[in-house]
Structure 1
Amino acid sequence: MNLSAPQDLAPLLEAFLLATGGPLSIERLAELFEEVERPSPALLRQALAILDESCQGRGFELREVASGYRLQVRERFSPWVGRLWEERPQRYSRALLETLALIAYRQPITRGEIEEIRGVAVNSQIVKTLQEREWIRVVGHRDVPGRPAMFATTRHFLDYFNLKNLDELPPLAVLREMDIEPLSNEEAPDSEPIQTNAESITPVEKEQTSFRTLLAELDDMEQGLKTDFSDLRQEDEPTNEFEPQDTEQP
């Protein structure tokens, strides 16, 4: 095998990605070679481009997410491929989805700010669940009395929702188009979850989906979002300022 030729290197990278349990970065791929044969980052990217092209018209795709590259089943096939697993698809409550959406678009944001926007108290279990799933983390404390914790999304959040960075989040117009109706003064119970529909499934794990799917779940819910986005930034573009720099895998 000529490891200096991207055409020969591409199937080897495919084998690496099929065998791994998660995304592999360019740096990690390079570490899998002996130093004397190690391809350059540019050569690895050329080989990945060839691999990506070879996936066209097939049931899986090469996808770059925050932690690197992975091979995964195309999302349109997930309703059928998901039948391979007997367990029920992951279910999320409306309250959890609203909270996660606000953190994603308004990060860093405090629990009090989330409650002010939504008009209801945030259930402590929601924050705990999001942290346990490694979708959010504390990135600092607001310099106000009480120094409340500020939450932001994590690299694992980006990986799970098939995002390379926060710039790939759907535009805020998707949220603004949702019907907004008043909620009662009490939080909707978390015991009434909403089931996610399409998931993008990797050959070794099936927990990837798109953030647009999550927003569609919110859009389909009877009462819609209880929020006012009139105070959001005019450019309607999220930033990467608070993307965690660690590369630790879940």
Structure 2
Amino acid sequence: MPRRSPLALLPEAAPAPDAEVLRLAEALIFAASRPVESAALAARLPAGSDVEAVLAELRRIYLPRGINLVRVAGGYVFRTAPDLAAALRGDAPEPRKLSRAAIETLAIVAYHQPVTRAEIEEIRGVSTSKGSLDLLLETGWVRLRGRRRTPGRPVTYGTTPAFLEHFGLDAVSDLPGLDELKGLGLMDGRLPAGFSIPMPSDATALHLDEEPLAEGPDED
């Protein structure tokens, strides 16, 4: 009985996605104003298309180019290659600068969401001006989530998909943890004993201690 070649035992390579399917997926992602989720892409591609294979092939094709296909905010979008950022600096519109108070507030919302204004002030140790939260709401990086099921029913805050897009995150859980922040030199090495950073979550579903916003979003 003839011996079979070891190569015959290897699984066959998956066929490359059809060129026209690749072109259509490329056009859909390019034309979209927001990151395109896999499910939305599958609904627009021919029936039976392997969406993950299409995305993988597009990532491979664009990897050495001036723009790359990246995953942010749960979807896919074309972005300038990171190594070209310095060469393009000055061409993009200058983003609105945030005050230190607004930056601190944004960080607290990102890591502690859902969080109320009173909780933000407790963490910061100072009063939070209404202007800081208003600015973050205006930029579209922070949203009103719901109301806490506690006396006074204070409004809770959380981040938005626009926040993820701006900072190139697929999910809030991709934010750096304490060890990473220390490694980047962003945290003082002399931290209080027991100091920790919570594991952030951007789950859209309301928590058990929250309820939907019913009427006008009154401040707490």
TM-score (ref. length: structure 2):
0.72
Task: Within 5 Å, give how 1:142-221 maps onto structure 2.
Answer: 142-175=148-181, 177=182, 219=186
TM superposition shift of 1:61: 1.2
Residue deviations 1:45-104 (CA, integer Å, cap 9, x gap): 10110110112222221111224111110233223223324x434322111111111111
Residue deviations 1:144-165 (CA, integer Å, cap 9, x gap): 3322111111222222221111
Q: Tell whether the 8 Å contact from 1:65 to 1:162 is kept in structure 2 after alignment.
A: yes
1:100 aligns with 2:62: no
Residue deviations 1:156-214 (CA, integer Å, cap 9, x gap): 22222211112211113345x39xxxxxxxxxxxxxxxxxxxxxxxxxxxxxxxxx9xx
Query: In structure 2, do the counterparts of structure 1 residues 39 and 114 end up closer, same or farther at CA, with 3 Å as the change threshold?
Result: same
Q: Tell whether the 8 Å contact from 2:113 to 2:202 is kept in structure 1 after alignment.
A: no
Q: Tell whether the 8 Å contact from 1:67 to 1:159 is kept in structure 2 after alignment.
A: no
1:126 aligns with 2:93: no
The higher radius of gyration belongs to 2
Residue deviations 1:105-155 (CA, integer Å, cap 9, x gap): 111111111111111111111111111222122222223332211111122
* 1:15 partner letter: A
CA distance in 2, matches of 1:110, 1:149: 6
Query: Helix, strand or coil: the match of 1:84?
Result: coil
1:14 aligns with 2:23: no
Number of residue pairs the alignment of both structures matches: 189
* Larger RCO (alpha carbons 8 Å, 6+ apart): 1
CA distance in 1, matches of 2:82, 2:47: 33
Query: In structure 2, do the counterparts of structure 1 residues 18 and 140 end up closer, same or farther at CA, with 3 Å as the change threshold?
Result: closer
Query: In structure 2, do the counterparts of structure 1 residues 157 and 91 end up closer, same or farther at CA, with 3 Å as the change threshold?
Result: same
TM-score (ref. length: structure 1):
0.64
- Unaligned segments of structure 2, at least 5 residues: 1-14, 207-220
Who is 2:71 aligned against?
64
* 1:237 partner letter: M
Query: Helix, strand or coil: the match of 1:70?
Result: strand
Query: In structure 2, do the counterparts of structure 1 residues 229 and 46 end up closer, same or farther at CA, with 3 Å as the change threshold?
Result: farther
Who is 1:109 aligned against?
115
User: In angstroms, what is the RMSD of aligned CA positions?
Assistant: 3.0
1:44 aligns with 2:56: no
CA distance in 1, matches of 2:160, 2:173: 14
Query: In structure 2, do the counterparts of structure 1 residues 88 and 136 end up closer, same or farther at CA, with 3 Å as the change threshold?
Result: closer
CA distance in 2, matches of 1:228, 1:59: 45
Q: Of 82, 87, 94, which aligns to 2:89? A: 82
- Unaligned segments of structure 1, at least 5 residues: 179-211, 245-250
Task: State the percentage of identical aligned residues.
Answer: 33
